[in-house]
Amino acid sequence: MTDDRKKLAELRAEVRSWLAQNVPADWRSEMTGTRTEDFVSFQRKWMKTLVDAGYATAHWPEGWHGGGRSLDEQLVIVEEMVRAGAPRLILYFISLYHTAMTLAEWGTEEQKARHLPAILHGEIWCQGFSEPNAGSDLASLKTRAHRDGDHYVVNGQKIWSTLGQHADYCLLLVRTDATGPKQAGITFLLMDMKSPGVECRPIRQITGDEEFAEIFLTDVRIPVANRIGEENQGWRVAQTTLSSERGVTIFELAERLSWSRWRLLEAISDGNGAVVDDQLRREAVDVFIKIEALRALVRAMMSDMMAGKDIGGAASIVKQLYAQVLREFTALGLRADPAAPLLAPFTLGGGHETGNWSFDYMNSFMWTIAGGTNEIQRNIIAERVLGMPREKSA
């Protein structure tokens, strides 16, 4: 065994042992139908537990607690988290990935010193990118900001901000110049959610969850010191933020979907573990093959990332396939148990992890939109993978 493989094996054993002692017992049942306040409290405690162990920030740069891990080491940690059925840090996803990676690449030393330690101590972030008429076409955003001395004064509206009602800060894209190309007039700001003029309203979904929020901004004053990068260069900064969803995060989602197969088998089998419905068996095998194909594509993309290769449209292919397979997976579970009522859901999250097929199926539709709609992903695949020309506007 090479030194690298031995090191990874030791890390795997270490993480597996730690998880056996620290994953909260019966956390799924306790979080099913719980109050939002209890969910937030649970997430805060789990975040602190993972941060203290150094497992929440394995992807952070070297020098930060838990940071500096190789990609192989990060994957080992994720694999063991999935294997142990550990809770996802839903409340801190934006904080740990989008915010941390954006600050690491673009933030000033003062901004890093202010916010990265605060995240480790529980500071919650949300993202203010999408708008009612600028979701898929993000560069068309209309939220305006004008310079007033040492502040920007912001007016506008954001929507689909994940868990924005619980956030302390927001990654905010605003328009500071409307005279040139739409990508060229965007500025990236860090906004205190407690600033005067900020109103955050939760959005009730079909599942009963309030996983998203809309944010209304009326003459909100944001210090120029809270700008990331230069004025009108926010589009470049935003690409770093958006790219943080690739790699380890989609790897975890694919692995969690794979480990959830036992729930589907349980749903379609009789009391003795046999699948007696031939059609359900055939469709289950088809979905399971697609899950394995998804995992293979993700791992191939990760290998290319580790080799420093440009992954191009691979991330779009993976995201598109994940949304498709998740829909088919949960739809099959719902067909197997069509009388299942929409019981109290797994608060703020899920997708395929609750075992409540009605809830999981409805929640799966979110993945055709989140992180870039299926239509946008198809355009990227057509242009960057297939080399098809961009359609000319009339």
pLDDT digits (tens, 9 = 90+) for 226-282: 999 999 999 999 988 887 776 778 888 899 899 888 888 888 888 777 888 889 899
E-assigned strand segments in 23-72: none
* pLDDT tens-place string over residues 336-345: 876 665 554 4
Question: Do 336 and 257 have their domain in common?
Answer: yes
Reduced to 3 states (helix: H, G, I; strand: E, B; else coil), residue 162 is strand
Q: Supply 264's token pair.
A: 């589907």
In a domain, 164, yes or no: yes
Report the pLDDT averaged over residues 105-124: 97
245 as an active site residue: the answer is yes
Judge if 221 and 195 occupy the same domain.
Answer: yes
**Is 254 in the same domain as 381?**
yes
Residues 132 and 223 placed together within one structural domain of the fold: yes
- Per DSSP, the three-state class of 122 is coil
249 and 378 part of one domain: yes
Whole-model pTM: value is 0.88
Q: Is the dihedral of CA 287, 292, 293, 299 positive or negative?
A: positive
Domain boundary among the residues 41, 64, 88 is at 88
**Region 200-226 average pLDDT:** 92
pLDDT at 347 over 60: no
- Can you give the three-state secondary structure of 305-363, one letter per residue? HHCCCCCCCHHHHHHHHHHHHHHHHHHHHHHHCCCCCCCCCECCCCCCCCCCHHHHHHH
Tell me whether residue 238 is in a domain. Answer: no
Report the alpha-carbon distance of residue 57 to residue 32 in Å, rounded: 27
- The boundaries of the domain holding residue 54 are 3-88
Residues 6+ apart with CB under 8 A from 179: 185
Q: Is residue 106 part of a domain?
A: no
Is the same domain home to 271 and 369? yes
348 within a domain of the structure (yes/no): yes
Q: How many CB atoms lie within 10 A of CB 370?
A: 16
C-alpha torsion sign, points 329, 78, 58, 164: positive
What is the number of structural domains in the chain?
3
Residue at 34 is within a domain: yes
pLDDT tens-place string over residues 312-336: 788 889 889 999 999 999 999 888 8
Q: Are residues 129 and 72 in the same domain?
A: no
Q: Which of 73, 245, 252, 353 is catalytic?
A: 245
User: 212, 233, 254 — which closes off a domain?
Assistant: 233
